[in-house]
Amino acid sequence: MGIWSGVKGLFAGPESAGKVLDATVNTVDAVWFTSEEKSRWYLKYLEATQPQNRARRLIAFLVTLVWALLVLFIAAAMALKAPFVADLKGLLVDVVVQPYSIIIGFYFVKSWVSEVKR
């Protein structure tokens, strides 16, 4: 007497055990996508998130613009030997770098990873 026959005995009859088994198999099958289902889902996802692409590009552009202006401002202050250069460098390192890296990473990492996988 195996484990499976013991599990079958918990149910009223063999037909109810078959129904439970079919439901379990269907559930497990629904959890794991085939490659075709993954492709279909990915295309639906791209279509659904298409309007957000402009906003993502705008956010990435604005964040990069602010970072670039700050770097240029620091470079100009260093050239002029301004006394507040150390404070600006601290601002760049302590405040700006982490959010900049997160936002730009979020925007670009997916495309880089997909290129590396190819």
Asked if residue 76 belongs to a domain, the reply is yes
Asked if residue 38 belongs to a domain, the reply is no
Asked if residue 6 belongs to a domain, the reply is no
Q: What is the pLDDT of residues 50-65, one digit of tens each?
A: 777 788 788 888 888 9
Residue in the block written with tokens 């390192």: 93
**Structural domain harbouring 110:** 52-117
The confidence score (pLDDT) of residue 103 equals 80
**Token output for 81:** 């030997």
Transcribe the chain into DSSP letters: --HHHHHHHTSSSHHHHHHHHHHHHHHHHHHSPPHHHHHHHHHHHHHHHTTHHHHHHHHHHHHHHHHHHHHHHHHHHHHTT-TTHHHHHHHIIIIIHHHHHHHHHHHHHHHHHHHHH-
The predicted model gives 70-80 an average pLDDT of 91
Asked if residue 13 belongs to a domain, the reply is no
Given a cut of 70, whether residue 2 has pLDDT beyond it is no
Give the number of domains in the chain: 1
The predicted model gives 61-73 an average pLDDT of 88
Query: Among 41, 17, 19, which Cα is nearest to 30's?
Result: 41
Phi, psi (5° rounding) for residue 20? -65, -40
pTM for this predicted structure:
0.50
Asked if residue 58 belongs to a domain, the reply is yes
